[in-house]
C-alpha cells in the first residue's frame, strides 16, 4: 500500500528540518573554534610566539580537527552502514558537544604552560572525530528519505547547517567581542563554548524523533553482518572516492579562506576592527543560507555536474578580486567580497550531498561518501588557513600567492567534477557499478517523477 503524498511530504520535511538543526549545532561547535583560533587562541595558548607565528600555531590546532575527521568517517561510517544512519547521529552530536564545552573550561598557557595547547589539540581531535562521522549520517537521512526528483533540494538542508552554525557562532562571538578587551580575553571568549551544552541537548532530542532511512531499512538484513563497509568501499569505488575528494578541494579550501583566514588577515595584516570582518561574514552567511537550497534545487533540474562546475569556476574567478576588495579596507566592499565568494561556494555545496550520495551503492554509501568528503577536508579545508598564512608570511604580506593557491584548488575541482558521472537521475535503491565497470551513472536512468520504490 502506497504512502499518501501528504504523509510523504510531512516525513521528508520532518527529516530535513531535524538534519538541518542537528547539523547546525555541530557546525556551531566546529566553527566556534575556527573563529577563536583566528582572534584569541594565538594570545592565550601560544603567547611565546610572535603574532604571525602564533596565528599559524593556532590555525595548526584548527587543522588538527580535520585530520581526525576521516577517522570519524571510517568508524561511524562502518557502523552507519551496518546498524543504520539514525543511531550514529546522536552519538556524534554528544561527542562534539562535550569537546566544545570543555574548550570553554580550558586553562590558558599562563596557568598550566604547555599543557594548555596540548589539551586544546586533544579536544580539537575529539571535535573532528565527531564531525567526521556526523556529515555522512545527516545527509544520507535527508537524501534517502527524499523523492527522487527532489534529492538535490532536500539533500541541501543538512548542508544549510554549516552556514547556520557559522552564522550563530559568528554572531555569538561578535556579541562577546564587543566587551572591553581585558574582560573578553579573561573570560568573555569562553561563554560561546559553554553555551554548546544547551544546544546539544536540544539537538539530541530532535534527532531521536526521526525515523530510520527507508533505503537502509529496505536492504537485505544479512548484508549488515556480512560486510566490512569501509574495505568494500575502497575496493569497489576507488575512482569515485578520489573524484569526490577532488570535487571538495575548491569548495572546502575556498570556504575556510574567505570565512576563517580572512579574520586574521583583516585584523592583523590590515589593522581592521574584529567587528568589520565578523559583520561581513554574518551578511555573507545569511545569503549562504538562501543560496544553498537554491542551487540544490537547480541541480534537480539541470543536473549535479553543471551546477557544481559553475561554482568551482566562480571560485577560481573570485580568487584575485576577493583580496582586491578586502584590501580596500572599506566595510561594504569587504562584505561584498565575502558574499560573492560564498555564493560561488554555495553552487558547489548545495548539490554536494545528493551528488556524493548518488555516487555509491546503499551497502557502503555512508562509508564511501564519508571517506571522499572527509579525506579532502584534511588536504583542503584543514590546511587552507595554514597554507594561506604561510604564503602570506613568505611573500612579505602580499596576497597574490594566496590567490594563486585558490586558483589551484579550483582547477582540481573542475577536473574532478568534469571526470565524474552525472547522477541526478539515478536510483538509490540500486547498487553503483564496481571499479572497472563501464563509466555510467550510479544506476540505471529513471523518470523524473517519484515512484513507490524511491519514496518513503
Q: What is the pLDDT of residues 372-420, one digit of tens each?
A: 988 888 888 778 888 898 999 888 888 899 999 999 999 999 999 999 9
* Residue 334 domain-assigned (yes or no): yes
**148 belongs to a structural domain:** yes
Res. 39: pLDDT tops 80: no
Give Cα 238 distance to the centre of its chain: 22
Mean per-residue pLDDT over the chain, rounded: 82
Least confident of 5-14, 174-183, 232-241, 306-315: 5-14
Type and span of the H or E element at 307? helix 304-326
123 assigned to some structural domain: yes
Cα separations (Å) of 35 from 17, 55, 214?
26, 12, 38
Q: Give a yes or no: residue 219 inside a domain.
A: no
In a domain, 138, yes or no: yes
pLDDT of residue 452: 35
pLDDT in tens, 425-455: 887 765 554 444 444 444 433 333 333 333 3
**Local confidence band at 362 (pLDDT 50, 70, 90 cut-offs):** confident
Whether 149 and 300 have beta carbons less than 8 Å apart is answered as: yes
Which pairs with CB-CB distance under 8 Å and at least 24 residues apart come from 324-327? 326/262, 326/265, 326/266, 326/270, 326/399, 327/270, 327/399
Buried b (16+ CB within 10 A) or exposed e, 123-161: bbbbbbbbbbbbbbbbbbbbbbbbbbbbbbbbbbbbbbb
Rounded Cα gap, residues 12 and 418, in angstroms = 31
Q: How many CB atoms lie within 10 A of CB 62?
A: 28
We report the CATH number of the domain holding residue 79 as 1.20.1250.20
**Total structural domains in the chain?**
1
Kindly state whether residue 220 falls inside one of the protein's structural domains. no
Query: What is the band of 301 on the pLDDT scale with cuts at 50, 70, 90?
Result: very high
Identify whether the C-beta of residue 252 lies closer than 8 Å to the C-beta of residue 413: no
Q: Please, how many CA atoms are within 13 Å of residue 424, restricted to the half-sphere of its CB?
A: 24
Whether residue 218 is contained in a domain is answered as no
Residue 82 to residues 97, 145, 186, 306, 323, Cα–Cα distance (Å): 25, 18, 46, 34, 46
Tally of residues, the chain: 456
234 has pLDDT over 80: yes
For residues 452 and 80, what is the distance between their CA atoms, to the nearest angstrom? 24
Q: Note whether residue 313 is domain-resident.
A: yes
On the question of pLDDT at 87 being above 80, the answer is: no
Domain extent at residue 302:
5-212+225-450
Cα within 13 Å of Cα(43), Cβ side: 12
Q: What pLDDT, on the 0 to 100 scale, is given for residue 283?
A: 92
What are the φ/ψ torsions at residue 289 (nearest 5 degrees)? -60, -35
pLDDT score at 124: 83
Would you give the end-to-end CA distance of the chain in angstroms?
12
User: Distance (Å, rounded) from C-alpha 420 to C-alpha 220?
Assistant: 29
Amino acid at each position: 500500500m502506497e504512502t499518501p503524498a501528504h504523509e510523504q511530504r510531512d516525513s521528508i520535511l520532518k527529516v530535513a528540518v531535524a538534519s538541518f538543526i542537528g547539523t547546525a549545532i555541530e557546525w556551531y561547535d566546529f566553527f566556534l573554534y575556527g573563529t577563536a583560533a583566528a582572534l584569541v587562541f594565538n594570545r592565550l595558548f601560544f603567547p611565546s610566539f610572535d603574532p604571525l607565528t602564533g596565528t599559524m600555531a593556532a590555525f595548526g590546532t584548527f587543522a588538527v580537527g580535520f585530520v581526525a575527521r576521516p577517522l570519524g568517517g571510517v568508524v561511524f561510517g562502518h557502523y552507519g552502514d551496518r546498524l543504520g544512519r539514525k543511531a550514529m547521529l546522536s552519538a556524534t552530536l554528544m561527542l562534539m558537544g562535550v569537546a566544545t564545552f570543555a574548550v570553554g573550561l580550558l586553562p590558558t598557557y599562563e596557568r598550566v604552560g604547555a599543557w594548555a595547547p596540548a589539551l586544546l589539540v586533544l579536544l580539537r581531535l575529539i571535535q573532528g572525530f565527531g564531525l567526521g562521522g556526523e556529515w555522512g549520517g545527516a545527509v544520507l537521512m535527508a537524501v534517502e528519505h527524499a523523492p527522487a526528483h527532489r534529492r538535490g533540494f532536500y539533500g541541501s538542508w543538512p548542508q544549510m547547517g554549516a552556514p547556520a552554525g557559522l552564522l550563530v557562532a559568528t554572531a555569538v562571538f561578535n556579541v562577546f567581542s564587543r566587551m572591553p578587551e581585558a574582560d573578553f580575553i579573561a573570560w568573555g571568549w569562553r561563554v560561546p563554548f559553554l553555551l554548546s551544552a544547551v544546544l546539544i541537548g536540544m539537538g539530541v532530542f530532535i534527532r531521536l524523533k526521526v525515523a530510520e532511512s527507508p533505503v537502509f531499512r529496505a536492504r537485505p538484513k544479512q548484508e549488515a553482518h556480512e560486510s566490512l563497509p569501509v574495505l568494500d568501499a575502497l575496493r569497489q569505488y576507488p575512482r569515485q572516492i578520489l573524484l569526490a575528494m577532488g570535487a571538495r578541494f575548491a569548495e572546502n579550501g575556498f570556504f575556510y579562506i574567505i570565512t576563517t583566514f580572512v579574520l586574521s588577515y583583516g585584523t592583523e595584516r590590515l589593522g581592521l576592527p574584529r567587528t568589520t570582518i565578523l559583520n561581513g561574514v554574518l551578511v555573507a552567511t545569511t545569503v549562504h543560507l538562501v543560496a544553498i537550497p537554491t542551487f540544490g534545487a537547480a541541480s534537480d533540474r539541470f543536473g549535479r555536474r553543471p551546477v557544481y562546475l559553475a561554482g568551482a569556476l566562480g571560485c577560481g574567478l573570485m580568487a584575485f578580486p576577493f583580496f582586491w576588495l578586502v584590501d580596500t579596507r572599506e566595510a561594504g566592499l569587504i562584505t561584498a567580497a565575502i558574499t560573492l565568494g560564498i555564493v560561488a561556494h554555495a553552487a558547489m555545496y548545495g548539490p554536494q550531498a545528493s551528488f556524493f550520495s548518488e555516487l555509491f551503492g546503499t551497502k557502503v554509501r555512508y562509508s564511501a561518501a564519508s571517506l571522499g568528503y572527509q579525506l579532502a577536508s584534511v588536504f583542503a579545508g584543514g590546511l587552507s588557513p595554514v597554507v594561506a598564512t604561510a604564503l602570506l608570511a613568505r611573500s612579505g604580506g602580499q596576497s597574490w600567492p594566496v590567490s594563486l593557491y585558490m586558483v589551484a584548488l579550483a582547477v582540481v575541482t573542475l577536473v574532478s567534477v568534469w571526470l565524474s558521472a552525472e547522477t541526478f537521475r539515478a536510483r538509490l535503491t540500486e547498487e553503483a557499478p564496481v571499479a572497472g565497470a563501464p563509466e555510467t551513472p550510479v544506476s540505471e536512468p529513471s523518470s523524473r517523477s517519484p515512484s513507490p520504490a524511491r519514496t518513503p
